[in-house]
């Protein structure tokens, strides 16, 4: 192999490594589960304006709202297997960690639990999109462990959307929850993200 051909192949390999992880295309009947806490449940809005319901209308897919207000990563680990068994999703949108931070749980414990959640989802045969949750400090953004997990486990990560929505008082129902307009923005952003990642 010539040096030029080797250089081109090496450059292409590097570009592939740097590209965001992609998802398999969903078939029309594939189920999406949105798994999380009150941000997924839609606290601050109605059931029909929570982001999973809006995402379902935008994509044409069944999107199960498996959000439980107050859920932590450890509680999520306990209920996840039953959710996976009941709905048999092809894709899980995982959005947890906010209540861990509010309750001042050790960051290492939250990170480890998120890894276990991802492993459990993958073991069921489903793919995972990780959604970052902003920390409780003002304009702190999502903690670095979301990026660390996404990089190491090769996960698509959307780490900014809730941070952006919860910075805008027009999109909030209270300091830590969106309103209907905020959840619509979340759903629109996730629909675009899934399309870019190849799922839609």
Say which residue, 119 or 138, is predicted with more confidence: 119
Active site residue 174: yes
pLDDT, average across residues 48-60: 98
Q: How many residues does the chain have?
A: 200
Q: Of 37, 38, 41, 100, which is the active-site residue?
A: 38
Distance of CA 25 to the CA centre of its chain: 17
Stretch among 41-55, 57-71, 132-146, 180-194 having the lowest mean pLDDT: 132-146
C-beta of residue 70 within 8 angstroms of C-beta of residue 10:
no
Q: Which two tokens stand for residue 102?
A: 């509010």
With 0-12 / 13-18 / 19 or more C-beta atoms within 10 angstroms meaning exposed / middle / buried, residue 132 is: buried
Domain ranges of the chain: 3-197
Token pair listed for 83? 């959710």
Q: Is 153 helix (H, G, I), strand (E, B) or coil?
A: helix
Active-site hit among 144, 151, 168, 174: 174
With bands split at pLDDT 50, 70 and 90, how would you rate the model's confidence at 3?
A: low
Contact 70, 38 (CB under 8 A): yes
> pLDDT digits over 163-183, tens only?
999 999 999 999 999 999 999
Given 61, 71, 100, 177, which residue is catalytic?
A: 177
**In angstroms, rounded to a whole number, what is the distance separating the alpha carbons of residues 130 and 94?**
5
**Looking at domain 3-197, does it have CATH number 3.40.50.1110?**
yes
To the query of whether residue 177 is one of the catalytic residues in this protein, the response is: yes
What's the rounded Cα separation, in Å, for the pair 107 and 104? 8
H/E segment holding residue 65:
strand 62-67
Q: Quickly state the pLDDT bin for 13 (edges 50, 70, 90).
A: very low
Specify the pairing of strand 172-174 against strand 177-178: antiparallel
């Amino acid at each position: 192999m010539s040096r030029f051909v080797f250089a081109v192949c090496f450059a292409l390999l590097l570009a592939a490594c740097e590209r965001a992880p992609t998802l398999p295309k969903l078939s029309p009947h594939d189920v999406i589960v949105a798994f999380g806490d009150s941000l997924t449940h839609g606290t601050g809005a109605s059931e029909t304006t929570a982001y999973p319901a809006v995402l379902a209308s935008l994509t044409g897919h069944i999107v199960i709202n498996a959000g439980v207000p107050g859920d932590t990563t450890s509680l999520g680990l306990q209920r996840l297997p039953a959710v996976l068994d009941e709905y048999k999703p092809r894709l899980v949108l995982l959005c947890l960690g906010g209540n861990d931070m509010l309750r001042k749980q050790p960051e290492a414990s939250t990170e480890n639990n998120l890894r276990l959640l991802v492993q459990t989802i993958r073991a069921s045969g489903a793919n995972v999109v990780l959604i970052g949750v902003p920390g409780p400090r003002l304009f702190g953004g999502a903690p670095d462990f979301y990026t660390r997990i996404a990089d190491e486990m090769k996960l698509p990560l959307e780490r900014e959307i809730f941070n952006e929505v919860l910075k805008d008082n027009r999109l909030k129902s209270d300091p830590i929850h969106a309103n209907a307009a905020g959840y619509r923005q979340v759903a629109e952003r996730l629909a675009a993200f899934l399309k870019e990642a190849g799922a839609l």
